[in-house]
Amino acid sequence: MDADWKAFASGDEEGIERFYRRYFRLLAYVAEQILDDRTESLDVAQEAFYKAYREIDSFSKTGSFLSWICQIARNEALDRKRKRKNVLPFDTEKALATESPFPGPKETAREGELLQRMRSLLSKEDYDLVLYRAGLDLSYRDIEQLVGKKVSVLIPRYNRAIRKLRKELGGKI
């Protein structure tokens, strides 16, 4: 993580791209938990990277860079959610008649059902841990920085959660 953020902070294009590829999905996940809108959460993740790059000098090097950039994404998502309350109603019929370049409900229904089932089987902490590790491919060290729990606690907790999911879901996981 340290080398990733240093490359990001230095403006090294390869370093920025590596950091972006590694953590974009995490920032989108953070935003989606607040907004409940996948498309808007992708915009928030993009904006969080831009703000972090623009304001890199305000980062306190004694803190966790990953936590800092996640906080930027969280704040941006909360701002957008507050602004939503002041938006005119959406024309649903017109939107449904428009062809979308994104996967529709039929394509994502199966994945959504599996995630809902996982959510019902696991505590919020365990569900997030499984998504961070298996879904977003974060290292245990990165997860440690995000959730504030030691790796020695996270590994057995993750393994228990995976065993529970395998038992309950069988071959679906």
Q: What are the sequence ranges of the domains in the chain?
A: 1-91, 104-168
At 74-84, the pLDDT tens digits run: 999 999 888 87
> Does the pLDDT of residue 46 top 90, yes or no?
yes
Mean pLDDT (whole number) for 155-164: 92
pLDDT of residue 131: 84
pLDDT of residue 93: 52
pLDDT of residue 4: 64
pLDDT of residue 5: 67
The DSSP result for the chain, as a single string, is -HHHHHHHHHT-HHHHHHHHHHHHHHHHHHHHHHH--HHHHHHHHHHHHHHHHHTGGG--TTS-HHHHHHHHHHHHHHHHHHHHTTSPPP-HHHHHHS--SS--HHHHHHHHHHHHHHHHHS-HHHHHHHIIIIIS---HHHHHHHH---HHHHHHHHHHHHHHHHHHHGGG-
* CATH placement of domain 1-91: 1.10.1740.10
Mean pLDDT (whole number) for 146-158: 89
At 92-101, the pLDDT tens digits run: 555 545 555 4
CATH topology of domain 104-168: Arc Repressor Mutant, subunit A (1.10.10)
pLDDT of residue 94: 52
Compute the mean pLDDT over every residue in the chain, rounded to the nearest whole number: 80
Report residue 72's pLDDT band, with 50, 70 and 90 as the boundaries. very high
